[in-house]
Structure 1
């Protein structure tokens, strides 16, 4: 089902918008800002800067606003309406998540995807809907941003984050940039799947002409693959989605080269998802957290059934298991792929469905001190049989999603940078990117940031309490009386303004 096949009821959406506004009014959201303003070098300091205006950035902003933290700016490198992967490099037809999950609604029924969908297309179409079409999810997020009046500054790159006294200085660039630099107390990296790393590019493509291969996260000209032989490395969701795109564009053949001996079929994390898991995971021992994530990595999340069928329905699609790649040569015309088992394959184009790697050192925003970030490999020595080089590169985060120092005192400002993206999953669970737990993660993040901001300004808040002088009782609410047999030595309290 695509949005174009449905009749949109614009009056229904107008009514939903009014309902959202009423719900927010009833919940007293957002409250007034309570964070005292600060300035540095004659410039106002932003309380929280959010890097990324996609789903994570939007719900983080709404959570902060709902907590009375209003001095927030959001920067996104993409044009307006194109934040996140949904209409950029994501190529699945539908989302994997069940349609009824509440996602970034933050506990407000009128903000759910279901409310947005049924307001326009009705309950009958909702019942008929199987999975959420990917472009429709992006339309929902665009509406979410608009109805909540979340301001995102688009076409803005955050080039570097540097310590500047008590603050963080962010160097900005891009067509949408109004300030070359801004100062912030806290920074949230809501930067998505590659938020603390980069696309995973295997060494076997080193030296190959870039015209002969692409990573699944890149802008691929699928029309140019018509009549071509294509090899796809991997069988995860992104690999399968890109395979389907190539087949539908008319590729002569698409062959999946899969290192595993068998197709992953069970989403293990789906089987244990619960509020208990979300709440307990950060409180588990390092050994248990590592064990859960290691098993998830080992078993691998399978591609969705619909996505896999989208590929296999083509007679010129092939799945080859036990085909780890040893090396690849290019003779100027075609690729010659040598497998680890001795077999070979000649093809015209290679797509890497190899996902992303977590590697803080690769983030240019953290250039100059990324090596000072505490990693899981620094903190936890996995026992025999449970070692995993990728897991070891994940940052070992504090309870508020903040980076921690590898060496105490070497980079104390790291505690002001919060990793609200895929990089947080080993430390804190699936609450900073996946639809099921995103609202819980945002609430948790906002609460921790609010607590930190308040502690940092505690003297100011105490002084405000001392200076507060608005009476609730004016003095005319009572009359002082003596006990039996006693007389008052002083006249009764005066009323009105004199009572103060």
Structure 2
């Protein structure tokens, strides 16, 4: 693979992965375990992380239970049932470093085009740092890396501050401000409770009502991690055993409440 540091370089590689987020990191590890070592990850940003790098709005976190949101090859002692963005980003970075994934990443490399060459049986990729040729291309860019700003008449001339939640303006103090939030998706339901006590007035605009369900978010006590470390199969999913998250929800007021032996125990 030639690389002289210019934008006119040409790289030949077996597998190219586009995006260094959760899926990109997992793909590198899985390929290496399968014996494929000639792998490169093309990442347009200066660091990995994907959506957990880009989204830093107040209250940003996982809306999937933490125990279900981890790699099978990298178990983690989550701090709470629904982990927050800084912990997830740190987990991703640590896992990538531990498995040497970061050495395969080419940062500040944005893919501009991907074309298949029937004659050569190879993919030709044009990027901001040169051309790449690969036998296999895995797209792991994800759908959340480009903010979608609605086309609202007058938005471009609005005199107040305007920003997307995925590009949160942390320098703006919302204390005493009149705030409007457009949309009630997963991000909004996380940052609204965080900014509501600060704002003098807060309006939320939605086109479709959301389903509202209880969110059992609580800190994980050490007892839970100890049980999972000693008996990882005790809370595995099976015909007669609940998932790890279901076991975790038995934690109440800092006390571990084990499931009955008939439903949760060693296989």
Length-normalised TM-score, structure 1? 0.37
Q: 1:482 — aligned with what? A: none
Q: Does 1:63 align with 2:30?
A: yes
Q: 1:88 — aligned with what? A: 54
CA distance 1:305–1:205, shift in 2 (3 Å): farther
State the alpha-carbon separation in 2 of the partners of residues 134 and 75 from structure 1: 23
State the alpha-carbon separation in 1 of the partners of residues 23 and 211 from structure 2: 28
Give matches, 1:234-313, under 5 Å: 234-247=183-196, 250-260=198-208, 262-266=209-213, 304=215
> How much has 1:244 moved relative to structure 2?
4.1
Structure (1 or 2) with the larger CA radius of gyration:
1
Q: Does 1:218 align with 2:193?
A: no
Q: Superposition RMSD on alpha carbons, in Å?
A: 3.1
Q: 2:81 aligns with which of 116, 130, 134?
A: 130
Name the structure, 1 or 2, with higher relative contact order (CA <8 Å, separation 6+): 2
Structure 2 contact 110–127 (Cα < 8 Å) conserved: yes
CA distance 1:52–1:206, shift in 2 (3 Å): farther
Q: 2:113 aligns with which of 160, 169, 184?
A: 160
Q: 2:135 aligns with which of 163, 185, 188?
A: 185
> How much has 1:226 moved relative to structure 2?
3.6
CA distance 1:247–1:87, shift in 2 (3 Å): farther
State the alpha-carbon separation in 1 of the partners of residues 69 and 169 from structure 2: 32
SS in 1 for 2:124: strand
| Gaps in structure 1 of 5+ consecutive residues | 1-36, 118-125, 267-301, 307-435, 437-500
Structure 1 contact 48–73 (Cα < 8 Å) conserved: yes
Q: 1:148 — aligned with what? A: 99
Cα deviation per residue 1:30-50 (whole Å; 9 max; x = unaligned)? xxxxxxx9xxxx966211111
State the alpha-carbon separation in 1 of the partners of residues 199 and 69 from structure 2: 38
> How much has 1:90 moved relative to structure 2?
4.3
Give matches, 1:6-155, under 5 Å: 45-80=12-47, 82-91=48-57, 92-101=59-68, 103-105=70-72, 108=73, 111-114=74-77, 129-150=80-101, 151-155=104-108
State the alpha-carbon separation in 1 of the partners of residues 16 and 56 from structure 2: 26
State the alpha-carbon separation in 2 of the partners of residues 65 and 157 from structure 1: 24
> How much has 1:220 moved relative to structure 2?
2.6
State the alpha-carbon separation in 1 of the partners of residues 54 and 22 from structure 2: 14
Give matches, 1:93-492, under 5 Å: 93-101=60-68, 103-105=70-72, 108=73, 111-114=74-77, 129-150=80-101, 151-164=104-117, 165-166=119-120, 167-173=122-128, 177=129, 180-194=130-144, 198-205=146-153, 208-209=156-157, 212-221=161-170, 223-247=172-196, 250-260=198-208, 262-266=209-213, 304=215
State the alpha-carbon separation in 1 of the partners of residues 156 and 22 from structure 2: 35
SS in 1 for 2:167: coil
Tell me how many residue pairs correspond in the alignment: 205
CA distance 1:208–1:64, shift in 2 (3 Å): same
| Gaps in structure 2 of 5+ consecutive residues | 2-8, 218-244, 246-267
State the alpha-carbon separation in 1 of the partners of residues 152 and 199 from structure 2: 23
CA distance 1:206–1:190, shift in 2 (3 Å): farther
SS in 1 for 2:127: strand
Structure 2 contact 67–81 (Cα < 8 Å) conserved: no
Structure 2 contact 109–127 (Cα < 8 Å) conserved: yes
State the alpha-carbon separation in 1 of the partners of residues 124 and 27 from structure 2: 21
Cα deviation per residue 1:349-378 (whole Å; 9 max; x = unaligned)? xxxxxxxxxxxxxxxxxxxxxxxxxxxxxx
SS in 1 for 2:141: coil
> How much has 1:305 moved relative to structure 2?
6.8
> How much has 1:102 moved relative to structure 2?
5.8
Length-normalised TM-score, structure 2? 0.65
Structure 1 contact 95–132 (Cα < 8 Å) conserved: yes
SS in 2 for 1:223: coil
